[in-house]
């Protein structure tokens, strides 16, 4: 089955499902970037994730009813547990809210970059999950609204709660997959107003950092 391109908020998406997810991210006031940068995975394969949420440091891979190339977001998730440079003792970012003994302080409990699989809606509800990896085979990803900064983000509840925007661990409202309404745009009409970020100019690929066992 061939995907149908769709324009939304001035961005040409490769499929209507990707555009629908952009609509819903806008509804949640989650700033998004479409296909911002490619990466060379640890396997040597090239990969460009569909969406990046810069304010909450999360990659979102939009998947239909199939799991074709599902190993790519899984490899990305494994490579993004720790900040680049952690293995050499010179990480590009440090998480101060951690008991982890690695140089960056990130890991499976709070990844440097979270990876979420966004699915087609079921009965008009939002469906998503975490990317399963060898280091963390059973993630439990939810949509969360931070009681401190009021920002929506995705979070893995396997290891407690900490906001990916403000990094605080106060009150939180949690919505499981299937617990939020999923809106679709009028695909025949094309674009509708939105707050997402236009696709930036293509950048050269970067090598994803290899994950360190947690």
User: Which position has the higher pLDDT, 120 or 187?
Assistant: 120
With a cut of 60, say whether residue 201 has pLDDT above it: no
pTM of the full predicted structure? Answer: 0.85
Burial class (CB within 10 angstroms; exposed 0-12, middle 13-18, buried 19+) of 27 = middle
pLDDT the model gives residue 182: 98
Structural domain boundaries in the chain: 6-187
With a cut of 80, say whether residue 213 has pLDDT above it: no
Question: Which of 28, 26, 1, 2 has the alpha carbon at shortest distance from 11?
Answer: 26
With a cut of 80, say whether residue 43 has pLDDT above it: yes
Digit-coded pLDDT (tens) for 141-188: 999 999 999 999 999 999 889 999 999 998 999 999 999 999 998 766
Q: Tokens in use for 122? A: 């079921």
Digit-coded pLDDT (tens) for 71-109: 999 999 999 999 999 999 999 999 988 767 899 999 999
pLDDT the model gives residue 188: 66
Mean pLDDT taken over the chain: 87
Digit-coded pLDDT (tens) for 177-194: 999 999 998 766 554 434
């Amino acid at each position: 089955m061939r995907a149908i391109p769709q324009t939304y908020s001035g961005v040409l998406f490769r499929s209507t499902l990707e555009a629908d997810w952009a609509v819903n991210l806008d509804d949640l006031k989650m700033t998004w970037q479409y296909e911002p940068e490619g990466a060379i995975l640890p396997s040597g394969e090239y990969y460009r994730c569909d969406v990046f949420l810069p304010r909450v440091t999360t990659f979102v891979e939009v998947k239909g009813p199939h799991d074709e190339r599902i190993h790519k977001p899984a490899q990305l998730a494994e490579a993004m547990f720790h900040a680049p440079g952690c293995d050499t003792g010179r990480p590009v970012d440090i998480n101060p809210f951690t008991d982890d003994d690695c140089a960056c302080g990130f890991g499976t409990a709070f990844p440097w970059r979270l990876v979420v699989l966004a699915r087609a809606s079921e009965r008009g509800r939002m469906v998503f999950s975490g990317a399963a990896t060898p280091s963390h085979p059973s993630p439990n990803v939810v949509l969360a609204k931070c009681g401190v900064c009021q920002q929506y983000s995705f979070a893995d509840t396997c290891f407690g709660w900490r906001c990916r925007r403000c990094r605080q661990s106060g009150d939180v409202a949690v919505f499981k997959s299937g617990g939020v309404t999923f809106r679709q745009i009028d695909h025949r009409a094309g674009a509708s107003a939105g707050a997402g970020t236009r696709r930036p100019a293509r950048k050269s690929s970067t090598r994803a950092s290899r994950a360190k066992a947690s």
